[in-house]
Chain A
Amino acid sequence: MVPGSTTKLMSQMRRGAIEFCVLALLREEDRYGFDLARTLAAADGLVTSEGTLYPLLARLRQDGLVQTTWHESSQGPPRRYYRLTKDGDAALEAFIVQWHRFRDAVDGLLDGEETS
Chain B
Amino acid sequence: MSGSSVEAIVNDYFERVERALAPLPRSRRDQLLDELREHVATARPDLAEDSEVSVREVLERLGDPEDIAAEALGDDSRPQGGQGRLSRLLTRRMVITSTVIVVVLALAATLVVALSGSSTPVRAEAVASTVNVGGFPTGIAVDTVTGTVYVASGNGNELSMVNGTTCNASTTSACSKTSSVSTGGQDPIGVVVDEQTRTVYAVNGGSNTVSVINASTCNARDSTGCAKNPAIVDVPGGPEFLALNASTNTIYVADTDSGAVSVIDGNICNAESTQGCARAPASVAVGAGAFPIGVDEKTNSIYVGTNSGVAVINGRPAMPQTRVAAQMLQR
Contacts and interface: CB of A to CB of B under 8 A. Distances in A.
Interface of A: 32-34, 37, 41, 48-52, 54-59, 62, 75-77, 79-80
Nearest to B42: A34
Interface in B37-79: 38-39, 41-43, 45, 61-65, 67-68, 71-72, 74-75, 78
| 6 cross-chain pairs, A with B, having the tightest CB-CB distances, nearest first | A49-B63, A55-B72, A34-B42, A51-B68, A51-B62, A52-B71
B61 A50 contact: yes
B80 interface: yes
**Main DSSP-derived SS at the B contact region:** helix
Interface residues of B, number: 25
Nearest to B35: A54
A54 B36 contact: yes
16 contacts: A34-B42, A34-B43, A49-B67, A50-B61, A51-B39, A51-B63, A51-B65, A54-B36, A55-B71, A55-B72, A56-B71, A58-B31, A58-B72, A58-B75, A79-B38, A79-B42
A20 B32 CA distance: 20
Contacts of A77: 41
B41 A49 contact: no
A50 B40 CA distance: 11
Contacts of A52: 63, 67-68, 71
Contact of B41 (A50, A51, A76): A76
Contacts of A34: 38-39, 42-43
Contacts of B17: 51
Given A52-B68, A54-B32, A54-B68, A59 B75 contact: yes
B38 A62 contact: no
A112 to B, nearest CB: 37
Contacts of B80: 62
Contact of B78 (A33, A49, A57, A59): A59
